[in-house]
Amino acid sequence: MRPTIVIPDDSPPVISGTPALERMMSAGNVTVYTTPPATRKELLQRISGAHTVVNIRAYCKFPRDVLQIMSGATRHLAIWGTGTDNVDLGAAADFGILVSNTPNTATDAIAEHGLALLLAVARRVPQVDASVKRGEWIRGMLYQCHGKTLGIVGTGVIGTRFAELARAAGMNVLAWTFHPDQAKASRSGFEYVASLEELLNRADIVSLHLRSSDQTRGMFGHAQFAMMKAGAILINTARGDIVDEDALVSALASGKLLGAGLDVFAQEPIARTSPLLGLSNVVLSPHTAGTTPEALQNGLMRCAGNVVAFIESGQVLNRVV
């Protein structure tokens, strides 16, 4: 009997109609839902009885109670992407559900998007573009990144690639991370500092590249923004819950920060009432840094590879737990 594979959250659709979906279909009976499950109950209804659940979007949450109900049938939770903060990994291990992911498939895409956000904020690209299109010709001083000091928080593959792009643009790069790798710093041309406080004190631009975890959630709040230079810029292409958005709004509205470029938010989609939407010194994108054709194809095919490998052999290419 062919196993049942359910994709409960392909919204907006990325896997529908792709070679990755065809590959999954070769190994089992696949059901794809292209609208978000409105409730926990609807999510459970969609995945009921599934041997394999493929998680496309992080707005679907898999806490302990959901995983416990899934454990009657589900043997594999295959995540498209790197982040696992929407899954209780300890509970998955307790209930015998293997969790896989697809790390490092969008490294270049996300690093490039971080640089694009930085340049858009620094050069005020959205505001200048809108002004010219209104028929205005208002010229003014803009922010030059060359010669400035960039502080990288988190030096995994994306943070390291962003550091390399910044170096190529003429920036000096400092870094802080939980697990520094001096050999990596030497290869990529950046310098580790002893503490996060030192990095915030010295950097003109701070870019976040950390996972969401108990250590990092709420890590950037009023105290951290107070440590940053007046007129600094914040870039976040990592996870929204690393930043206290109320504190960020306060720092932006007061002029403490020159601006921010954000691809991730505490709530996604961002609430229509969020004060971030009303700030002129913020450039926002809808958690889309990794959505290039190259990154999508790479990640989806690796996700499909995990699904097929588990069905055929009980193993996966990238196991989390």
- Report, as residue numbers or ranges, the catalytic residues: 239, 268, 287
| Residues in Cβ contact with 175 at an 8 Å cutoff, skipping those fewer than 6 apart | 151, 152, 153, 155, 159, 163, 185, 190, 191, 192, 193, 199
CA atoms of 63 and 242, how far apart (whole Å): 19
CA atoms of 147 and 299, how far apart (whole Å): 35
| β-pair type (257-262, 232-236) | parallel
DSSP state, residue 218: T
Q: List the alpha helices (DSSP H) in 134-177.
A: 157-168
| Residue 23: count of CB within 10 angstroms of its CB | 17
CA atoms of 278 and 94, how far apart (whole Å): 45
Which segments of 177-253 are extended strands (E)?
Answer: 191-192, 205-208, 232-236
CA atoms of 245 and 225, how far apart (whole Å): 11
| β-pair type (172-176, 205-208) | unpaired
